[in-house]
């Protein structure tokens, strides 16, 4: 069981936003259920980062911006295949705001992603072109962080991409699975867990994590 090191560990709360919760434009099933366990986890760490999808209204990943395209269909973009989503987390809207019960005020940094019109951004670390950084990797290194614990929405997209990129950058990564919920689009949840195993991402529950001594 991992024990929290207050100096070397960071907790990443991924996209705990209204549009991914009940009644939102891209609601994840049971998405609201992550808020309470994430708040409990936030209270246990010194380094806490919250991420926030922050799209322009004309974002290229939005189905309504492609004539005749259905939500959840796929198109080819210069950086690869892209799922087209319902318009969500548009900058400055209520849907883009954090869930009202999410304790983001304890975050020591907020990373906004997906604000470039022509490229989507699932990961907290990189845009979907896999090369354009958000700056989070450098921030964590400058703070002396070596391990990251991740939870939030959705398991199989933004949490998964963030965990895999954390490993790619040399951080140890732990996904707190009971504080995540999945979209599970065409088996994407199972695919994510398989990718984690291959990359060395550890799967834990909140109860597995021991507090610092």
CA distances from 50 to 60, 74, 106, 185 (A): 24, 28, 9, 24
The sign of the dihedral angle between the CA atoms of 209, 191, 35, 200 is positive
What's the DSSP call for residue 201? Answer: -
Tokens of 16: 């705990």
The one catalytic residue in 21, 158, 165, 180 is 158
Annotation says 21 is catalytic: no
The one catalytic residue in 15, 32, 53, 165 is 15
Whose CA is closest to 149, among 202, 112, 191?
202
Helical spans, DSSP H, in the chain: 35-42, 136-142, 160-168, 188-199
The one catalytic residue in 9, 32, 113, 156 is 113
Whether 86 contacts 49, CB under 8 Å: no
Annotation says 89 is catalytic: no
Annotation says 120 is catalytic: no
Query: Which residues does the annotation mark as catalytic?
Result: 15, 113, 158
């Amino acid at each position: 069981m991992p024990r929290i090191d207050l100096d070397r560990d960071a907790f990443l709360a991924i996209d705990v936003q209204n549009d991914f919760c009940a009644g939102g434009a891209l609601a994840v099933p049971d998405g609201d259920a992550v808020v309470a366990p994430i708040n409990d986890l936030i209270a246990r760490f010194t380094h806490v980062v919250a991420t926030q999808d922050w799209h322009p209204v004309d974002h290229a990943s939005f189905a309504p911006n492609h004539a005749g395209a259905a939500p959840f269909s796929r198109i080819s973009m210069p950086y690869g295949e892209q799922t087209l989503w319902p318009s969500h987390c548009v900058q400055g809207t209520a849907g883009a705001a954090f869930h009202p019960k999410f304790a983001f005020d304890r975050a020591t940094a907020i990373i906004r992603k997906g604000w470039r019109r022509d490229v989507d951004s699932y990961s907290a670390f990189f845009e979907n072109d896999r090369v354009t950084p958000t700056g989070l990797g450098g921030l964590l290194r400058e703070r002396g962080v070596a391990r990251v614990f991740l939870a939030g929405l959705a398991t199989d997209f933004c949490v998964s991409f963030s965990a895999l990129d954390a490993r790619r950058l040399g951080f140890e990564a732990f996904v707190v699975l009971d504080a995540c919920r999945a979209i599970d689009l065409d088996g994407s949840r199972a695919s994510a867990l398989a990718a984690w195993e291959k990359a060395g991402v550890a799967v834990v529950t909140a109860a597995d994590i021991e507090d610092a001594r």
